[in-house]
Amino acid sequence: MPKPNLPSLYTCLSPALLHLYDVNDSIVVIIDVLRATSTIATALFNGAECVVPVDSVPRCIELGLKLNGITAGERDGRVAEGLSYGNSPFEYPESFVAGRKLVLTTTNGTKLLHMALAQGKCEIITGAFLNLSAVCDYLLASKKPVILGCAAWKDRVNMEDTLFAGAVVDRIGQEFSINCDSSHMAQTLYRQAKPDLFEFMKINDASHFHRLMNYGLEKDIRHCLSPDLANVLPVFRDEALWKAAGSRQQAAGRR
Amino acid sequence: MPKPNLPSLYTCLSPALLHLYDVNDSIVVIIDVLRATSTIATALFNGAECVVPVDSVPRCIELGLKLNGITAGERDGRVAEGLSYGNSPFEYPESFVAGRKLVLTTTNGTKLLHMALAQGKCEIITGAFLNLSAVCDYLLASKKPVILGCAAWKDRVNMEDTLFAGAVVDRIGQEFSINCDSSHMAQTLYRQAKPDLFEFMKINDASHFHRLMNYGLEKDIRHCLSPDLANVLPVFRDEALWKAAGSRQQAAGRR
């Protein structure tokens, strides 16, 4: 039920629905669980200086040269032609990314991030199961309106991003005013999926799950569905995502 | 999993996502459970000659005069100004509608129907819990690609239309090739909701549920969530929805 004294929370299930929500003065959480926002959390957790999200491969190559950064990205789930690295969290251990800039382009996540920026004056963070607690802690502390923005798959609603939105609603929804069926449906799905997210995705035929399984990426999927393994808060500022000050320490403190 | 030998089935959760689906040569099921497609099924079940869906109040008044029809419709859940009747199935008993034309405009359902028509050469039927079996029987017999089109609420995904899509997937999904997370999520939600749809809508804070409850329309909601009480198949042809030949008899035969 709407609770007038609390900030609002909405779940936007696809970038093609973003225009329905007023992003101004809100925190928009960009969600692309498989795998952009999982990789962003991992790279920052492992010490990358920042992650620069860009919306095209040519721009990725151009900025990679200019910033002396790692060029990375995927199209349709595989390493994009012309780039050096892909979209798997396992490609970015501390030994490789510490102190470096990662320039990243992905099919859906970076697109949604740029759409939100173009739509209004909002604060942008990224979320995935790997940094679920950091995201929830920040949203709770901020007391600002929240839009959980699912990157989806080429604008089609997907299961994994919906489940992550549901996880956030399940964890902190009580502290927000939620007049949004998408949020309640996501929470209901998450509660059912929670005992075994991987199995839920498998038996419910999640499309991107099967796409990645066909590429032999079961290890990636299992990792990306694990809570808090890279529990930092990526915050967008000056064209890049940076680890919020203290967020890794907070994460360590929780364990 | 995709099954290449079977026709495809997709669930489109909002009119704002319809452009993602190829409607050509498909059957598009227009779903607006609370209450347009429930009222359409009821009026045809009770002997209305046809239901003419129109997208504006002025057009409704104009056509009502021209066809000597009943002008009906709602905006934001209430009878629209200038029209004689609203959007409640209970307004259309046999004694009132038998042999008459109903000209109907609603917030979401009629809009989606006209969008689908504009988008390609498709067959259009309407679905609601009240005619769930008639819809499923027809889709099974047709063996054509299906798009379950949720009318939603001003383009925002809603619970009741998603649940109906889930009911269809749950009943006949095995006979289709479904590569669509929205369909699987809808089915999962429906399975959980099935024992008591009304209670599910209530405890999960469905927004339109509460809107109608605030108007004192609990009886309408309970009726609209009841399977097969007006089990006809509304088919769009010549600018109107007509009861498919034999569909009421089939319905009677099922009981």
Judge whether residue A248 has pLDDT over 60. Answer: no
Candidates B181, B182, B210: best to mutate against A (most CBs of A within 10 A) is: B181
Residue B5 counted as domain residue: no
Min Cα–Cα distance to chain B from A190, Å: 10
Q: Closest CB to A16: pick one of B17, B181, B208.
A: B17
Q: Which residues contact B252 (CB under 8 A, 6 or more apart)?
A: none
A178 contacts B205? CB cut-off 8 A: yes
Residue A209: which CATH number? Answer: 3.90.1560.10
Min Cα–Cα distance to chain B from A150, Å: 13
What residue of B is the nearest CA neighbor of A184?
B204
C-alpha pair distances (Å), B53 with each of B107, B186, B232? 11, 27, 17
Kindly compute the dihedral angle of the four CA atoms of residues B197, B202, B204, B206, in this order, to the nearest 10 degrees.
90
Q: Are A184 and A170 in contact (CB under 8 A)?
A: no
Q: Which residues contact A145 (CB under 8 A, 6 or more apart)?
A: A7, A8, A9, A25, A26, A27
Range of the domain at A48: 26-244
Among residues B234, B11, B6, the alpha carbon closest in space to that of B123 is found at B234
In a 13 Å sphere around the CA of B53, the CA atoms on its Cβ side amount to 29
Residue B252 counted as domain residue: no
Judge whether residue A255 has pLDDT over 60. Answer: no
Min Cα–Cα distance to chain B from A22, Å: 13
CB pairs under 8 A between A and B: 92
Residue A95 counted as domain residue: yes
Query: Quick one: average pLDDT of A13-39?
Result: 97
* Helices marked H in B25-175: 36-45, 57-67, 94-97, 109-119, 132-142, 159-172
Q: Are A25 and A75 in contact (CB under 8 A)?
A: no
Q: Closest CB to A188: pick one of B153, B189, B210.
A: B189
Residue A212 — very low, low, confident or very high, per pLDDT cuts 50/70/90? confident
What region, left, alpha or beta, does residue B30 occupy, with left being phi > 0 and alpha being psi -120 to 50 degrees?
A: beta
* Helices marked H in A120-180: 132-142, 159-172
pLDDT score of A251: 43
Kindly compute the dihedral angle of the four CA atoms of residues B125, B126, B128, B131, in this order, to the nearest 10 degrees.
-50
Residue B2 counted as domain residue: no
Q: Are A21 and A80 in contact (CB under 8 A)?
A: no
Residue A214 — very low, low, confident or very high, per pLDDT cuts 50/70/90? confident
Token readout for A110 is: 């970076």
pLDDT score of B3: 79
Handedness of CA B100, B101, B106, B111 (dihedral sign): positive
pLDDT digits (tens, 9 = 90+) for B17-61: 999 999 999 999 999 999 999 999 999 999 999 999 998 899 999
Residue B251 counted as domain residue: no
* Helices marked H in chain A: 36-45, 57-67, 94-97, 109-119, 132-142, 159-172, 181-193, 197-203, 207-214, 218-224, 247-254
CB atoms within 10 A of CB A103: 28
What residue of A is the nearest CA neighbor of B204?
A184
Contacts of B188 in chain A (CB under 8 A): 189, 192, 204
Crossing angle of the two packed helices A181-193 and B159-172, in degrees rounded to 10? 40
- Structural domains in chain A (count): 1
Tell me which amino acid residue A253 is.
G
pLDDT score of A1: 65
Q: How far apart are CA B170 and CA B191, in angstroms?
A: 8
Among residues B143, B100, B99, B108, the alpha carbon closest in space to that of B126 is found at B108
Based on its alpha-carbon atoms, the radius of gyration of chain B, rounded to whole angstroms, reads: 17
pLDDT digits (tens, 9 = 90+) for A120-179: 999 999 999 999 999 999 999 999 999 999 999 999 999 999 999 999 999 999 999 999
Candidates B185, B201, B202, B211: best to mutate against A (most CBs of A within 10 A) is: B185
Residue A213 counted as domain residue: yes
Contacts of B182 in chain A (CB under 8 A): 156-157
Q: Are A128 and A164 in contact (CB under 8 A)?
A: yes
Among residues A149, A147, A163, A166, the alpha carbon closest in space to that of A208 is found at A163
Among B residues 151-210, those touching chain A with beta carbons less than 8 Å apart: 153-159, 162, 178-182, 184-185, 187-189, 192, 204-208, 210
Residue A249 counted as domain residue: no
**Average pLDDT along chain A:** 92
- pTM for the model stands at 0.94
Provide the CA A221 distance to its chain's centre, in angstroms.
14
ipTM field? 0.93
Residue A10 counted as domain residue: no
Query: Quick one: average pLDDT of A237-250?
Result: 80
Residue A254 — very low, low, confident or very high, per pLDDT cuts 50/70/90? very low
Q: Closest CB to A185: pick one of B159, B184, B187.
A: B159
B181 contacts A162? CB cut-off 8 A: yes
Per DSSP, B124 falls in state E
Token readout for A188 is: 């209901």
Candidates A157, A183, A204, A214: best to mutate against B (most CBs of B within 10 A) is: A157
pLDDT score of A219: 94
On whether any CB of chain A is under 8 Å from the CB of B237, the answer is: no
Token readout for A234 is: 């990526």
User: Which residues of chain B are modeled with pLDDT < 50?
Assistant: 249-255
CB atoms within 10 A of CB A156: 22
On whether any CB of chain B is under 8 Å from the CB of A14, the answer is: yes
How many residues belong to chain B?
Answer: 255
In a 13 Å sphere around the CA of A231, the CA atoms on its Cβ side amount to 19
Among residues A156, A235, A227, A219, the alpha carbon closest in space to that of A190 is found at A227
Kindly compute the dihedral angle of the four CA atoms of residues A202, B161, A28, B204, in this order, to the nearest 10 degrees.
-80
